[in-house]
Amino acid sequence: MNERELLTNGLAQILPQVCPQVVDKFLDFSALLLEKNKVMNLTAVTEPSEVISRHFLDCAMVAPHMISGEKVVDVGTGAGFPGLPLAILCPETEFILLDALHKRVVFLQEAIAALGLDNVTAVHARAEEYAKTHRATFDKAVSRAVANLRVLSELTLPLVRTGGAFLAMKAEGCADEVADAQTAIDILGGSPAMIHRYMVPVSGIARALVEIRKLRETPEKYPRRFARIRAAPLGGK
Ligand code: SAM
């Protein structure tokens, strides 16, 4: 099976309809990513088929949770995951891709321009700094592979409006990590976390999406400076 078929078949298992132009954009992004990856550390994956199975299809599993007209922040997007695949799949949703590493953000800005996407912007900022000016301005936050949920919740939940949600992409066996983060999530105004388990098409890898609803405003004193968040994660004894 070639890459186009792999991607088309995989996406068809996640979403009801995916047009060939969407598949073209994914293949173009894969080419840009692998080319830039030769000179910059963007991903450990080097095979086009693995970009599809481990990045694109994994991230596409979050697309059914996206809603037209909503504004979504991807915290610690790295080379654009999960935010860029979601922006390709959900043109009516607006995405901000946030990362602390300037080089990765420049790559994303170039890729977004090359792909002609007008619903996504890459921003160079640390999440805890960005929250000072963008507190409670997002309907949703998403994140994959950035930090332990206790730390990550303090980086993301302040950005989400009351009534919105934070979706954290985690490994299948995340139950202990989630339980350990619940006190921090409560303090930050989040709901009891719900774990949705799923299998990624093509690779068959088992994964989990942790959904936290924002029930109350986050107290003003959060997020703290990163050194403090890391040294004393919220909800400790
Ligand atoms: N989410 C991507 C993925 O799944 O491939 C990237 C994961 S990479 C391991 C973690 C990324 O989070 C890095 O690019 C790093 O610069 C970014 N990051 C870590 N802490 C951050 C913070 N406080 N604010 C913004 N970005 C952060």
Ligand 1: distance of its center to the CA of 59 in Å? 15
Count other C-beta atoms under 10 Å from residue 217's C-beta.
Answer: 14
Considering only CA atoms, which residue is closest to atom 27 of ligand 1?
76
Indicate whether this model's pTM tops 0.85: yes
Give the chain's residues under pLDDT 50: none
Q: Tell me, using a 6 A CB cutoff, whether residue 169 lines ligand 1.
A: no
The DSSP code for 190 is B
Ligand 1: distance of its center to the CA of 198 in Å? 23
What are the tokens at 154? 């303090």
Residue whose pair of structure tokens reads 């996206």 in the numeric block: 66
Beta-bridge mates of residue 95:
72, 120
Is the four-CA dihedral 145, 39, 30, 74 of positive or negative sign? positive
Ligand 1: distance of its center to the CA of 2 in Å? 31
Asked if 217 and 205 touch (Cβ cutoff 8 Å), the reply is: no
**Backbone φ and ψ of 63, nearest 5°:** -55, -40
